[in-house]
A and B are shown apart, each in its own frame.
Chain A
Amino acid sequence: DAKTTQPNSMESNEEEPVHLPCNHSTISGTDYIHWYRQLPSQGPEYVIHGLTSNVNNRMASLAIAEDRKSSTLILHRATLRDAAVYYCILRDGKFGNKLVFGAGTILRVKS
């Protein structure tokens, strides 16, 4: 399973944008980039995913580097409810349906 590297923790101010980085230098051509987050005392929830192009949805944006070796999850205006552990995951689109979670980034949001 391809590996991702994320900072252990990040801090943001409320209502400011947050950029969460993820490195995945060994990504293969069929790997999708997924982001999930886990709020305190809850199961993980899907945030966004992409393959090659940048993606936007109601929760966030995903910016994927041209060589696909890194990506950035962008929360446009952080709220206190966005405080969570954010996981960047590579899923093999050719054979895989399982998610392999790394350590993730703990995001703290200050009011």
Chain B
Amino acid sequence: SAVISQKPSRDICQRGTSLTIQCQVDSQVTMMFWYRQQPGQSLTLIATANQGSEATYESGFVIDKFPISRPNLTFSTLTVSNMSPEDSSIYLCSVGKDRDYNEQFFGPGTRLTVL
């Protein structure tokens, strides 16, 4: 299994500012994933982050808006830049442990409210 923590657990931010969300895993993993869950909606994959390379973004998400860092095998950050109220969501990171990523483990999420 994997234990994942995220910081902050929640935040309220002003529009136009940026917030960096941290994801820490208790063991080394190759890939980490960042998701967004808008109020009352399902999860949407933002990007996949490999250590040592640039993140791969899904359609509709761009690096300028959601820059991601992956400095080592246990840590990643997602920044939500130039925020607007539409960015109010829960942001979750996840990891896969086995080679085939059959079982992914999710963090508790960061609840972001943009005023």
Contacts and interface: CB of A to CB of B under 8 A. Distances in A.
Is chain B found bound to chain A in the same assembly?
yes
A43 B94 contact: yes
B33 A98 contact: yes
B43 A45 contact: no
B45 A99 contact: yes
Contact of B105 (A46, A85, A93): A46
Interface residues of B, number: 22
Interface residues of A, number: 21
Contacts, number: 49
B31 interface: yes
B92 A46 contact: no
Given A98-B33, A98-B48, A44 B43 contact: yes
Contacts of B4: 43
B43 A97 contact: no
Contact of A87 (B33, B42, B101): B42
A80 interface: no
Given A42-B108, A45-B105, A97-B101, 11 more contacts: A44-B43, A44-B94, A45-B106, A91-B101, A97-B48, A98-B33, A99-B94, A101-B35, A101-B42, A102-B42, A104-B42
